[in-house]
Structure formats: C-alpha cells, structure tokens
Amino acid sequence: MDSVNHDEKEIVEKIKKKLSEVYDPEFGVDIVNLGLVYEIKVNLKEKKANVKMTMTSYTCPFMAVILKDVQQKLSEINEIDEIFVELVWEPPWSIDMASEEAKLMLGIS
C-alpha cells in the first residue's frame, strides 16, 4: 500500500510541476507560486485526478486562457486518463497565498 501512496505523491508532484508551467498573464507568475492551486488529489487505481483551484478574482480577464492552459498541460500526464479541474471561490484568493518567490517577483515584501 505504501508504494501506491508513494506513486500517487509522485503524480501529485508531476501535476504540480505541469501547473507551474501555466502563467497568469496579468501577473507574469505561474499559478502554483501565485497560490491559485488549492488541492490536488490523485487516484491511480482509477487513473483520475482532481485539481481544486481559484483565480485572482471573479472577473479575471484571463480566466478562460488560464483554464485552457491548465487542461492542456494536465493532458500531457500519461499516468492519468481523466483530470477534473474544479474552480472554487472559497477561500477567496489573496496575495498572502503567493509564495515568497512570487511576492519578490511582484515587488511585494
């Protein structure tokens, strides 16, 4: 059973790495470092994954672009056949959720 958990953790990291290739055009920072990805769950037995994420605001002008990029990047993961991306608004995103790296890139200390 440990190997399954280990394998699932590897796939979660692979998903996170792919998501870090998706940039919010408004900020020029990837969505992982911005703190937009809230949760990643993997079920290798069913070859499914669930990603819970948000946007910087309800009115994000790049929402469609970002979601399309997310789906495209996640489709590159061979170990998973089905990935469901759930867009949530709770908790609301704030700059405090961004990584220190992202805050430095944005000039926020």
- Domains, the chain: 2-105 (3.30.300.130)
Task: Check pLDDT > 50 for residue 1.
Answer: no
Cis peptide before 25 (omega within 30 of 0): no
Closest CA to 63 of 93, 25, 7, 15: 25
- Which pLDDT score, from 0 to 100, does residue 88 have? 97
CB within 8 Å of 71: residues ≥ 6 apart: 83, 85
Is residue 3 very low, low, confident or very high in pLDDT (cuts 50, 70, 90)?
Answer: very low
Task: Check pLDDT > 60 for residue 2.
Answer: no
What's the pLDDT tens digit per position in 15-73?
A: 999 999 999 999 999 999 999 999 999 999 999 999 999 999 999 999 999 999 999 99
Closest CA to 93 of 50, 31, 42: 31
What's the pLDDT tens digit per position in 82-93?
A: 999 999 999 999
Note the pTM of the prediction, 2 decimals. Answer: 0.90
- Which pLDDT score, from 0 to 100, does residue 33 have? 97
**Angle at CA 30, nearest 5°, toward 40 and 37?**
25
Q: How far apart are CA 50 and CA 57, in angstroms?
A: 21
